[in-house]
Amino acid sequence: SSKPSETVVLAVDHAGFELKAALKEQLSAMGYAILDLGTSGPEAVDYPDYANAAAKAMAEGLAARAVLSCGSGIGMSIAANRHSGIRAALCHEAEAARLSRQHNDANVLVLGARVIDPETAKACVEAFFTTDFEAGRHVRRVEKLT
């Protein structure tokens, strides 16, 4: 269901910096435009700043979905999920990424750059961006998240 015109936000801290390049290449190859909100180097930065920037871009309608990464993925998940309308899913394997879309209508994929390898991260991205929300019985559950 990917629309070639769809923009995806990419935002990472220093731990996710190297992974970001691979994910940017993958998402571009899948036909997505990328809104890269940083970080742009290995210098230490604060992950909430990047999660907040991604959530702000989504709230402003610049993108409907995002991929975030920090060392474990936990900090980014906590920061992103504090924002209204964000359903960020921290995934360690493709099955979780698929289910986060099918059952939770997740709109942000979070990856722990220091806890999964790049191939697993790419498999998560592939699953996340090629799986639709199933709706049905899941709609009322997702509505309760707001």
Which active-site residues does the annotation give? Answer: 70, 103
Under 8 Å CB-to-CB from 29, ≥6 apart: which residues? none
Under a CB-based contact definition with an 8 Å cutoff, are residues 120 and 78 in contact?
A: no
The first and second tokens of residue 65, run together, are: 């979905």
CA 37 – CA 42 distance, rounded (Å): 14
d(CA 10, CA 31): 15
8-state DSSP, 116? S
In one letter, which amino acid is 79?
Answer: A
Find, among 120, 125, 107, 116, the residue nearest to 61 by Cα.
107
**Integer distance in angstroms from the first to the last C-alpha of the chain?**
24
